[in-house]
Amino acid sequence: MSSMIASPLSERPSLKPGAYGIDFAAKFHVSDSSSFTTPWPDEQAFAVTRLWSKSGMLDRTMQFDRERALVVSLSLNTITRGNYRFWTEGKFREVPSLAPFTTSVTDMESDPVCLVTGPFDYIHYHVPRTGLDDIAKSVGIQPVGTFRCVLAENDPFLSQFTKLVLPMLESGSQLPALLLDHLSLLLGAHLLQKYAGLPKLPEMIRGGLAPWQKRKAAEFLSDNLATNVRLRQVAKECELSVSHFARSFKETFGVSAYRWLIQKRLSHAQHLLLKTRIPLIDIALQSGFPDQASFTRGFKRNLGVTPGRWRKFHRD
C-alpha cells in the first residue's frame, strides 16, 4: 500500500475524510491500494485511489459517510455480468458486464453499496462538489444541483485521462502540487460538461491575463522554481479564481502553468549542467524536482536524452 500527498508552499491543511485513500480501501475490505491527494478546495480533497483484489470481496462494502462529493470509477479489468452488484438508496441497480476503462459516476450522498465477487482493479476519483461549485461560479453559473450518475458508460475523455494518471500512481514519486491542481480542474470541467450538461467552459469566457497579471504570474512562478507551488497561490497573486486563472494563463502563454514551470525548471537545470559540476541529485532539487528519478524522466521525455548524457555531450 502506498500514498502520495502533494504539499503547498508551507504546510498542507488537514483534509476532511472521505471516499478515498486507506479508509476507502477499508470499506471494500481490501488492503491493496495506492493513492494521491491534494486540497481542492482548502480542506476538501481531490484524490485518486487505486484498489485491487485478486479474489474479490467476501461481503458488501461497509457504509460510507454521506458527503457532497462524486466518486468517478473506472475498471481496469473486465468484470463479467453477475460479478458486480450495486445499490443506491437501498435499491438494487442492474450492472452489465464491465469492459476495461468503462466509467461509473456515483453521488456519495446516495448511500452507495457494492459487492464485487471476482477479481477487480479500479481507479476511483474523489471529486468534492465544492470544487465543482467553484468552477461553475468562475464562469458565472450557479452551482449544479444534480449530476447524471451512470454505470459502465463509455467515456473516451476519462479513459484517456486515466491512462495518463496510471503511470503517475505507479511511479511512487511525489507529484507536483501544480500538476494535481491541473488534473482536478480538467476532471472537474469534464464532469460539469458531460454529467451536468453545461456548455464547454473555455468557450464561455475568453481572454488572457492583463499585462500586470502576466508579469506577476511569471515572476511568482520563477521565484518559486524549486518550491511545490499551488495553482491557487499564483491565482491569488493575480486576483483571480483558480479556474479563471488557469484558462487565462494558457490563453496568454500558450501552455498551462504546470507546463510553463516545467520548461523553466528544465532550462535552469540545463544551465546548472553546463556551468557547474554539482551532482545530478543537487541539480534536480535546485530545479524543483522532488528526486533525481523524476528529474531524469522529465528531462529525457522533453529533451530526448538523460541529463548525464546531455551534460557530457555539451561539455566535451
| Higher-scoring residue by pLDDT: 152, 12 | 152
Contact indicator for 58, 29 with CB cutoff of 8 Å: yes
CA distance 22 to 11: 21
Single-letter amino acid, residue 119? P
Q: What is the pLDDT of residue 1?
A: 42
Instruction: State the average pLDDT over residues 156-183.
Output: 87
pLDDT over threshold 70, residue 205: no
Say what the pLDDT of residue 176 is.
Answer: 82
Average pLDDT, the chain: 87
Q: What is the pLDDT of residue 175?
A: 79
Q: Is the predicted pLDDT of residue 127 greater than 90, yes or no?
A: yes
For residue 114, what are the β-bridge partners? 86
Closest to 48 in 3D by CA, of 110, 111, 99, 122: 122
Is 298 in contact with 262 (CB distance < 8 Å)?
yes
Q: Give mean pLDDT, residues 229-257.
A: 88
The predicted structure's pLDDT at residue 2:
43
Looking at residue 5, what is its pLDDT? Answer: 38
Q: Using CA atoms, how far apart are residues 131 and 98, in angstroms rounded to an integer?
A: 29
- Confidence tier at 208 by pLDDT (50, 70, 90): confident
Selected residue with higher pLDDT from 310 and 141? 310
User: What angle, 0 to 180 degrees and rounded to 10, lies between the N-to-C axes of helices 257-275 and 307-315?
Assistant: 50
Residue 10 pLDDT = 37
Alpha-carbon span 237 to 234, nearest angstrom = 5
Return the pLDDT at 6.
39
Percent of the chain with pLDDT over 90: 53
How confident is the model at residue 316, as a pLDDT? 65
Residue 27 has pLDDT above 60, yes or no: yes
pTM of the prediction? 0.81
pLDDT of residue 50: 95
**Cα-to-chain-centroid distance, residue 156:** 17
Burial track 224-258 (b if 16+ CB lie within 10 A, e otherwise): bbeebbbbbbbbeebebbbbbbbbbbbebbeebbb
pLDDT digits (tens, 9 = 90+) for 69-126: 999 999 999 999 889 999 999 999 988 888 999 999 999 999 999 999 999 999 999 9
pLDDT (0 to 100) of residue 89: 92
Q: Given this model, what pLDDT does residue 278 score?
A: 92
Rounded to a whole number of angstroms, the distance between the first and last alpha carbons of the chain is 45
Between 94 and 306, residue with greater pLDDT: 306
Mind listing the pLDDT tens digit for each residue in 250-267? Answer: 889 999 998 999 999 999
For residue 7, the model assigns a pLDDT of: 38
